[in-house]
Structures are given as structure tokens and as C-alpha cells.
A and B are shown apart, each in its own frame.
Chain A
Amino acid sequence: MSSTVEVEPGAAPESVLVTADSCENFEHMNSSLEEIKNLIEIKQAAEESTIETVVSENLEETGNFSECDDDEDDYVQNSEWTSRKKQVFVLSMAGKPIYSRYGNEDKLAWLFGVMQTLVSFVQSTNDDCIKSIHAGDTTFVFLVKKPLILVTVSKTHESENQLISQLNYVFNQITSTLTLTRLNKIYEQRQNYDLRRQLTGAERLIDHLLDFTEKEPSFLLGAVQCLPLASSVRNTISSAITGACNKIKNLVFAILLANNKLITLVRMKKYCLHPADLHLIFNLVQASESLKNSENWTPLCLPRFDSSGFLYCHVSYLSEDCQACLLLLTVERDVFYVLSQAKQAIVEKLRRTNCLEAINNSLTTNEETCLTAGFTELRHYLYKCKSTAQFYQPSLAPPYTLEKERLLELYKRAHQHLHCSSRPLKLVFEKSSKEVVLAWDTKGFELYVVFEPLIDTTGAINLVGKLLNWIKNREDKLFHLNAPTF
């Protein structure tokens, strides 16, 4: 299979995002925070006390944009509860309920007990570790991540790896509100601790995150999608941010996003953001309507960046007339006003340079479908550039406008087929009565294409070549090719 494209579309010399496999277990945490703090020689107060205060602060801060919804009242006998497509449970190693996606944890306490027993029973024999149970259409996946146990019960046909990746996201969401250090400390001190006290507010984020992982291909691909913008506009935006922020010490990341797409990301030299962390940020913004109303200041731990401590995050929307969200992340705890001023400066600069308008235009313009782009036998596709961890997808077109879920299922299946851990494949061409799916994994990119059902291999290969050229010609617009720094 060859095309005239020499360098895969969307590839750039430097990436704003750390690139890594989406299914990878999130074991290796960096200690970037320490590094930054040491680098600029900030004297830290005793570690213990800061973490304590930070947590209480965190609760106050996050508490204001979330409320615990406790009104659901489900039982196991309830057919609505058992027919749920995907249940997710989080418990402590001691079996204490922490989170249940549906239903009240206290009423399911016995079930949490059973899950804990299963985990410890298997562990006690031969130091083994329970991974999954399979029963007809239902898959039970266990993720034992000390000090927590995460379990999902899924009827969604997703693969074990995909489900594990989702549980990892849930774990990361919890560490994101507490930090891993704090989490470990809590259970070192009291095994029987009821963690829910620390997580009021985070529950809603987990709920949203789970919906998010089910609906968005970005989680599957371990990549983010960019808002299409002319490269000149994107550069102007990036330099407006750099200009306003380059004098502010210890600012690590500035992220501008809108409608679940990345506009730009400016970073401190040497530091990159992992897509998994960026997904948590997207989730935070998406899940919290109240962010729109005011400027916010919240501590936030990015587990892949540094799971031991918090970054502090200034979150605000650009303006009434431009619904893009700006996040400024720093290691300093008390620079709200400095960042607030910087934000004002950025907005003014963007307004003067007509960038707000450009963003709005892009937000209101529907993206091309395959048909409008001239590909008649092509229904939909996902293109991921591996070196930059960014992806592009066209607008949905019939028949998938009504079957969005099924389309994503096709992609999930193809993705799983390619990335089966012991028998990975380079290429899958799958023909059924409803459609033809081509999944192709190369050094530089991953491509998933859905064709009309009657296409043959020759037609499909020709189209893929044309498609890659089409993307290549638009890569400036569709991808964030620079990796600007402060």
C-alpha cells in the first residue's frame, strides 16, 4: 500500500503532547513538579502540612461547581439497574465503597464486599491477580491499583484493554482531585477510611468522564482533536499567549480549547503534556458549566505529569462572545491576580487581531463530511498522527448521523483488532453487509476508514491514497504543528 505522501500528514518536528500508547498502563508517573520547583529554587514548607492544607483548599474550590446527586435509589433487583450497559465501581482494598456509577453505594455495600473478597481470595493463592470474568454478553474487568480496586461490568463489547484504560482514567480522575501521595497517605493511616468524604464533587467528574470515554474517539486513540484554524491565526493566538505570559514565573502550561477541541497549548520548555492529562482537563471543562460564569482558581493534579502534587489552575472563558476556555497552569499557589491580568491581556490582543472572530467562525462552521470533500464511497474516518498525538475526523454523515454509537463501536472493534496485545496486526480489512472497515497501523499514523459496503480492495486502496493527500494538503489547518514555549 503506498501513497504519494512522504511524511505522514500532521507530523511535526516537535510535539506539544507526549506521545504514548493509549492502552498503556499509567504506572510511570513523572516527578516534574519537584523538578520545576527545584529548578527555580523555591523553598517549600514542610511537605506534610502543605498537602493537608492543599486538600482542604481543593475541597472548597471544587465544591463550588459541583453537587453530589444522591437522589438515585436503585436496587440490584431493579431491572433498570441490571440492564445498565456499563457499571463502574471503585472500592478500597478493605472493601469500603467509594464510587458506583449507578445506584447508591451504601445500598450496594454487600456487592463491594463480594468484589473485595474475590480480589483478595485470588491474591491469597499463589500471589495471583484477578483480571476479568466473562459471561455471555457481559465482561467483568478488575483493576487492582493499590490502594484502590476498580471494577467495571460491561455489556458494551469493548475489549478488556479498552475497559482497563477507562478504569485507569477513573483512577487518574481520583488522583487528579487528591494527588496519589495524599491518597496513599490516607490509607496508610486508616485502612478503613471512607474516601467519599474527600471526593464529593469528584463523583460528578467521574460520571462525566465515563460518558466521555464512551462517546469520544479521542480516548480510544490516545489523542486530541484540534479546532481547524489557519496556521497564521493559530500562531497569532500562541504568540498572544506567550507575549502575555512570558514574564510570569513558574507558569507551566497555557491551554486554549473550545468545543472539546484544542486551539493551542503553550508550555514551559522541557515539559510536555500527556494526552491522558489533557483529556482530564477537557473533562473538567466540559463537565463544569459553572466555569462559564466567572474566573476560577482550582488546584489540579495531572497524574501523568506529576502524581505527587498539585498544579494551580486559572480557568476562564475568553469572553461572552467567544466560548473558548483558557487554562493557565502554574506551580504557584497564590498568583490568581497575576494570571487574571494576563488573561485580560490575552483577550485584548486576540480581539485586536480578530482571532476571537476566527475562533467563532471555526466553531460555527460545520466541518466537511466525506461527501462534501469529494469522497463518495467513503463514509467516515479517523486519522491519528502518532508523533503529535493528534487526530482528525470529518463530520458525521448518513447513515451514522443516527447510529453514532454503532460507528464508534466499529472503530473500537477495529482498534482492538489492530492492538491485541499478543497478536498485534498491521492491517485489517473487514467487509460485512453493512460496510467495509479498513484499519491501518504504520510507523507514523493510524488510520481507520469506513467505506460503502460494495467497495473492493483496489477501490479502497486508491481512496486511502487520495485521502492521505487530502489531509496532507490541509495539515496546517487541521493540526497544531508548532509546539510553542514561553
Chain B
Amino acid sequence: MAERPRILQATTPGTFSRSLLSNITSTPNVSAMSTKNEVELKNFFIFNSSLGPKEGEEIKKIVYYFPPTDSNDQQIKNVGLVEGIIQFTETFKPSSEVSSLHTLKQRQLYYQPEKDFWIVMTLIVPTVKKNKDSTSTIEYLEDDIQDNVYSAVLQQAYLMYRLFWDTFHNAFKKDDINVFKTRLDVFYSAYIKTMKLAHSDILNIFSGIQYLPLDMQSFLKVQTFINELECNYNDIVHSAFLYNDHLIWSGIEPSDMKIAYQYLIGTLLPANMETELQGGSMPRNSGSPFAALHHGRFITGPTNLKTAKTVGKVPKIYLFGGKTPCTYRLAVYRALSASVCLFIKDVELSLGFFKELDEFMSSKITSIVSDIAEYCSKQVLTPSSLPESTPRFIYFNKLNLAYKSTVHLDNKQSGNIVCARDSLKIIADINKKKGIFGHSGEVIVKTMNDYWVVGKTSNSREFYIAINQKNASLIDISDEVKKICDTELKGIFFHPI
């Protein structure tokens, strides 16, 4: 219960709940012969060399550094190495700037999101300690860390910051450097704790969106609702509609939506669910016959309209997907299992406006949600109820960033997966090589323990299948793949390969 105040805070912009499974852990895999250490975060820092060009002022280059327990000398030394590596690699005119450094014990990833600003993340390579005849050897599992996965994690860390606080350079123009540093500190110190390094995988590379396929009737109802909303309230520029973790409608660019989606799914909604489960601020049926009809409430903005004196915190967000960057206020309204995200003009908001919105939405949303719920209940099995040997797949469409996975049992990145971890890594390996296929291609591989992994790419769509069928032949597998494509990708344009 002591956690509750913190969870509520999680709904304020850019703070991240700690309760979402801290992943910076080493889970000792207890077995007789060997112990394994998972990947760990060593440090994470942001620097800009132009901020401290003079000798003796190197510390000024660093705008954020984790862990704060590292001495200044240590910090300067680490930045110095990165600067050296950047310079050294530039000598050879690579096609893009340096992205990673591999050493026996560590992996360092680099990302330059804006000119002169570098974000650096250092990971400790997982190890296996093997005990053999009273001597123990440590083996470093370098290949367990896949550059493409962790580069995506790093990029995500930047995009999430930018969503709430604008670009580094703009912040610089507007504010004092110390304000900027404090903001980075508040944001990243919390964000780092929510990064799930040990369970990062191909989904981080996609950082996609799960859509909910609907029947036409229900979909039109959602759209009518959105149109009505936007017509009646001109201050609402765009909106998005989610049902549980699935997106049904979004009016903003996919590249913006994917970050907003990650914030909603990864932070805001789970934190809110917890308060609901703990009987937090959800209006209760207090005997009043009318209360039962009122199902919605704002989870950003005035969370309890009955008692609210101000509009509360409506986070400001920055979107960059359109022609020009835009600033909005993000209000999220939640009713039953649906969430309506309102991208409101960045103007002074009044409590009356929210009260009006609440009335408008709560009256309409109940019937829409019950339609959707009914449609969904008629749909196919959930992934967890399928038998073990069923082929599992991951689908991704680069054009609308849609993904679907029957490998992952939830989207919390908690490692709750139903195929071998190596198969998932092989999928990321295949993804790295997809460039060589050109427009379309297919790879089928058989692993050492006789599992199969298939990757297909065509028309910006990617489709991966993990099959745990021993004793199958290559021909069996390619037949199986054809069958799965027929049932799962019906109506999706895919080159017949």
C-alpha cells in the first residue's frame, strides 16, 4: 500500500512507475553445473562535447550520467573513450556514425539523436560460470546481446523523452542548462528503472502497435464517435481509441503514435489498472441508481471530476511526425476497457471543458464498448490456450507499424514467451539480414536442438514463425509455413513466394 502514492504519480508526464517489474536484475539460474548472469546495465549517459571544449572543463560536457555514484573522474574517462572512438571511426568514413563497441566483458551502444548530443548505454555481457572439477571458468556470452535490439532500446529512450520534453536543442534554447539537466535527471533516473533489458527482443526493434481487427459495424461506430467528438470540440485536434492494449483508431502519424502507444501500454494504463484493482479512484456504485450508468473517468487531467478543483495534470506532448512539430495536451479518458486519447490544442483548459467532455463520452461509450467486447468474445483463441507444439508467429507491417505476436503472452516485456529464447534471438538475427533480400525473401533455419525458425519478408511486411517440431523435414516445414500464411495472412498482400 505504501506504493500507492507513487503509482498515482506515474500518471504525470514523463515519470515512470517503478512497480512495473524492475528488470535490472541478475537472475541466477540455479543448476548444478553452471550459473548464468543476465545482461545488466553498467552506465547510461548523455553528453555534448561542444559544451566543455576546454581542458579541465570536461565535466561540463556531461548533461546526464547514471549511476550517480561514479566519480567525476570516472565519468570524464568514460566520455573520453567514447569521444576517442567517434573520432577514430570517422577517419574511415563509415556510411553512418558509430553504433556500438564490443569488448570481452561489456557492450557499449551509441546513439546521436541530435547534432553533438550522444546517448551512450553500457551493458555488462551475460556470463555463464561453469564448475568443472573444482575449477570454475567464466564464459562471456557476447552474442547474447544483439546490437539491433539494444540500439532500438536506446532510441526508444530518446523518443520517449522527446515526447514529453521536446528536443534537446529546443530545451537548450528555452531554458537554463541547469533546468535542462534536472529535467533529464528526473526523467531518465525513473525511465532507466523501467527498461526491461533482459527481456528486450525483436519487438523492441519493431516498436510496433497492436491493432484490434473489428467488424465493419463496430469500427464505424468508433469512427462516428470520434468524428462527433472532434466536430463538437474544436480544441481536440486529434484523437485515438484503444480497447485494452489494442489500438482501434488513431488520428496522428504512426511514428508519433508508436511512442504514445508505448507510453500508454507500458506506463500509464498499467499504473491506472493497479489503482483500479486496488479500489483507488474508480467511482463506486454507492447505491445510487444513476451511478451504475457512469463508467468513465479521466486518467490524465481531472481524475475525479466530483471533487476536482483544478484540471489537474494534463501532460504536454511534442509530436514530430507531421510536416512541422506540434505541441498538444494529452488527456486520456478511460471507460470500461476502452481508452480515448485526446490530443488537445495547447491552450488554457478549464474544468468545465472536461465536465462537458465527460458527459458527452460517458453517454455514448458504453454501447460501443459492449459491441466491441461481444465481437471479441466470438473471436479465436488467445495464444496461451494453444497447445505447446503449435507454431508461433510474429507479424509486422512497417507501413502502419502494426504487429501481432503469438510468441508473447503479454506485452509487458516480462519474458512471458512460448518459444525457445534462442528462437526469438534467431528471429532478430534474421531481421538484421533482411536488407539483403531486396523486395521479398524467405529464410528457413534449423537450430541445433532441432527447432525451426522461418522468416519471410515482402512488401514492407515481415512474418516470423517459430516451430518446435522435432523430426520434421525441410519440406514438412515449408508446407506448414504455406498453411499458416494461408490462415493468418489471408487478405494481406504478400508476394507468393
Contacts and interface: CB of A to CB of B under 8 A. Distances in A.
Interface string A123-154: 00110111111111110100000000000010
A422 B426 CA distance: 10
Nearest to A84: B92
Contacts of A422: 141-144
B89 interface: yes
Interface stretch (A12-20, A326-334, A454-462): A454-462
Nearest to A437: B443
A138 B89 contact: yes
Residue of A130, A133, A138 with most partner-chain B CB within 10 A: A133
Contact of A136 (B85, B95, B105, B448): B95
B142 A425 contact: no
B143 A423 contact: yes
B441 A431 contact: yes
Contacts of B425: 423
A312 B228 CA distance: 92
Interface in B450-465: 450
A1 interface: yes
Chain A interface size range:
35 or more
A131 B100 CA distance: 11
Contacts of A138: 89, 92, 94-95
The binding surface of chain B is classed by DSSP as mixed
A135 B91 CA distance: 12
B347 interface: no
Contact of B446 (A114, A421, A426): A426
Given A140-B89, A430-B443, A421 B96 contact: no
A432 B441 contact: yes
A134 B438 contact: no
Contact of A433 (B433, B441, B450, B475): B441
B95 A137 contact: yes
Contact of A456 (B92, B436, B478): B478
A228 to B, nearest CB: 31
A457 B475 CA distance: 6
B102 interface: yes
A432 B436 contact: yes
B102 A133 contact: yes
Contact of A82 (B92, B97, B141, B144): B92
Given A121-B81, A136-B97, A434-B438, A427 B92 contact: no
A40 B214 CA distance: 86
Contacts of A417: 429, 433, 445
B33 interface: no
Given A117-B84, A426-B447, A428-B445, A128 B104 contact: yes
Nearest to A422: B143
13 contacts: A82-B93, A125-B77, A128-B105, A133-B89, A133-B102, A134-B100, A140-B89, A423-B425, A426-B446, A427-B474, A430-B441, A434-B438, A457-B477
Interface of A: 1, 76, 82-83, 87, 111, 114-115, 117-118, 121-122, 125-126, 128-138, 140, 153, 155, 160, 413, 417, 420-434, 456-458, 460-461
Interface of B: 77, 81, 84-85, 87-89, 91-106, 141-144, 147, 422, 425-426, 429, 433, 436-448, 450, 473-475, 477-478, 497
The list of the 10 closest CB pairs from A to B, nearest first, reads: A136-B96, A136-B95, A422-B143, A138-B94, A135-B94, A135-B98, A427-B446, A137-B95, A457-B478, A431-B442
